[in-house]
């Protein structure tokens, strides 16, 4: 029996075990996927206690996506550029390779929104948040032809650090950083083609920003990375007639890519998606 995990803090509601275990069963792979809810300080001891012969790999979520990079044998260039790893493959001899499949999840979601087509990329994109998921989103956008971005975050210094890092690796980029306020939101929305919400807790009615999409052009696309239920963010955007998508496709795409990395087999994507949809109260 082989094992895979998700490591993170406060992950008891994660859908990943249900999705991955369904995939293992469907493909006749003798493996299980379990949750490892860790304290901030227990990452190192967890890594050294791993039974490397049993474990095929693991996923990593908040708050360990950056810290995990210290313990890995190799890190691919995509993860290096993003500054975060969400998938680790363990191969014979205990080599640990770090990869980032959130990238794939974001790309496939932006494709369904039509946001990776030529004309869409000419417009500005807004990213709300400056954590790991925002970082991956910024990288996807710059790598796929966007050059004008606005990052809005509660902690402006964190967004500034992110923008400086990416502006120095993407020379033609222009990344504006503004505080997370209604005034700034209303101003930025007017000339943007895409808004990505990577603030945690976007399902809450206590969403930290008073939302006003009324100035957005009708073709503006909205992507909320949350997936547990229909968020206030998406509901408000839809009321303004905007095209919206939640984070379910991203979740399932990153899970399917991780499965393929660990097993070398094609993931049963449809089954993984229908399993995930059954467990949530919203659809893509």
Ligand X SMILES: NC(=O)c1ccc[n+]([C@@H]2O[C@H](COP(=O)([O-])OP(=O)(O)OC[C@H]3O[C@@H](n4cnc5c(N)ncnc54)[C@H](OP(=O)(O)O)[C@@H]3O)[C@@H](O)[C@H]2O)c1
Separation CA 75–CA 83 (nearest Å):
10
Interface with ligand X in residues 174-203 (CB under 6 A): 180, 198-202
| Given the residues 26, 65, 228, 243, the one annotated as active site | 65
Separation CA 222–CA 234 (nearest Å):
7
DSSP 50-87: --TTTEEEEEE-TTSTTGGGGG-SEE-HHHHHHT---E
Window contacting ligand X (CB under 6 A); options: 14-22, 148-156, 183-191, 274-282: 148-156
Minimal distance, residue 253 CB to ligand X, in Å = 8
- The binder of ligand X chosen from 227, 233, 259, 262 (CB under 6 A): 227
Separation CA 270–CA 90 (nearest Å):
26
Minimal distance, residue 93 CB to ligand X, in Å = 30
Compose the 70-109 pattern: x for residues touching ligand X by CB under 6 A, - for all others. Answer: --------------------------------x--x----
Helix (H) or strand (E) holding 104: helix 102-112
Separation CA 97–CA 71 (nearest Å):
10
Beta bridge partners of 77: none
- The binder of ligand X chosen from 8, 98, 129, 268 (CB under 6 A): 129
Minimal distance, residue 43 CB to ligand X, in Å = 15
Q: Report the greatest alpha carbon distance in the chain.
A: 57
Angle at 136 between CA 132 and CA 142, to 5 degrees: 145
- The binder of ligand X chosen from 53, 122, 155, 164 (CB under 6 A): 155
For residue 160, count CB atoms less than 10 angstroms from its CB and return exposed for 0-12, middle for 13-18, buried for 19 or more: middle
- Whose CA is closest to 262, among 121, 55, 76, 15? 55
DSSP 8-27: ESS-TT-SHHHHHHHHHHHT
Compose the 34-63 pattern: x for residues touching ligand X by CB under 6 A, - for all others. Answer: ----------------------------x-
Q: Which is nearer to ligand X, 174 or 204 (CB)?
A: 204
Q: Which is nearer to ligand X, 168 or 206 (CB)?
A: 206
Minimal distance, residue 44 CB to ligand X, in Å = 20
Question: Catalytic annotation on 65?
Answer: yes
Q: Which is nearer to ligand X, 56 or 128 (CB)?
A: 128
- The binder of ligand X chosen from 8, 98, 226, 268 (CB under 6 A): 226
- Select the residue whose beta carbon is closest to ligand X and give its number: 131
Minimal distance, residue 135 CB to ligand X, in Å = 7
Contacts 24+ apart (CB under 8 A), 106-109: 106/136, 106/137, 106/140, 106/250, 107/140, 107/144, 108/249, 108/250, 108/253, 109/223, 109/245, 109/247, 109/249, 109/250, 109/253
Q: Which is nearer to ligand X, 94 or 208 (CB)?
A: 208
Interface with ligand X in residues 251-270 (CB under 6 A): 251, 254
Window contacting ligand X (CB under 6 A); options: 51-59, 169-177, 235-243, 248-256: 248-256
* Contact residues: ligand X, CB under 6 A: 62, 102, 105, 129-134, 153-155, 158, 180, 198-202, 208, 225-227, 247, 250-251, 254
């Amino acid at each position: 029996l082989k094992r895979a995990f998700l490591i993170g803090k406060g992950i008891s509601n994660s859908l990943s075990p249900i999705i991955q275990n369904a995939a293992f069963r469907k493909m006749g792979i003798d493996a299980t996927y379990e949750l490892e809810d860790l304290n901030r300080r227990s990452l190192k001891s967890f890594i050294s206690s791993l039974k490397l012969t049993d474990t095929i790999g693991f996923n990593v979520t908040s708050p360990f996506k950056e810290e995990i990079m210290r313990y890995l044998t190799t890190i691919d260039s995509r993860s290096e550029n993003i500054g975060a790893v969400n998938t680790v493959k363990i191969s014979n001899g205990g080599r640990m390779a770090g990869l980032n499949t959130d990238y794939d999840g974001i790309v496939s979601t932006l494709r369904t929104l039509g946001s990776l087509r030529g004309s869409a990329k000419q417009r500005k994109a807004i990213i709300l948040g400056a954590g790991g998921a925002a970082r991956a989103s910024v990288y996807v956008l710059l790598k796929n032809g966007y050059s004008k971005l606005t990052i809005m975050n509660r902690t402006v210094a964190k967004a500034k650090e992110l923008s400086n890092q990416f502006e120095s690796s993407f020379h033609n980029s222009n990344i504006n950083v503004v505080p997370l306020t209604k005034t700034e939101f209303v101003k930025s929305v007017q000339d943007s083609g895409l808004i990505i919400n990577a603030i945690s807790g976007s399902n809450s009615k206590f969403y930290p920003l008073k939302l006003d999409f009324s100035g957005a052009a009708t073709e503006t696309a909205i992507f909320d990375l949350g997936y547990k239920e229909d968020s206030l963010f998406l509901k408000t955007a839809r009321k303004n007639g905007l095209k919206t998508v939640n984070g379910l496709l991203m979740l399932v795409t990153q899970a399917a890519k991780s499965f393929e990395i660990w097993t070398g087999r094609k993931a049963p994507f449809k089954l993984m998606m229908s399993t995930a949809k059954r467990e949530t109260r919203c659809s893509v």
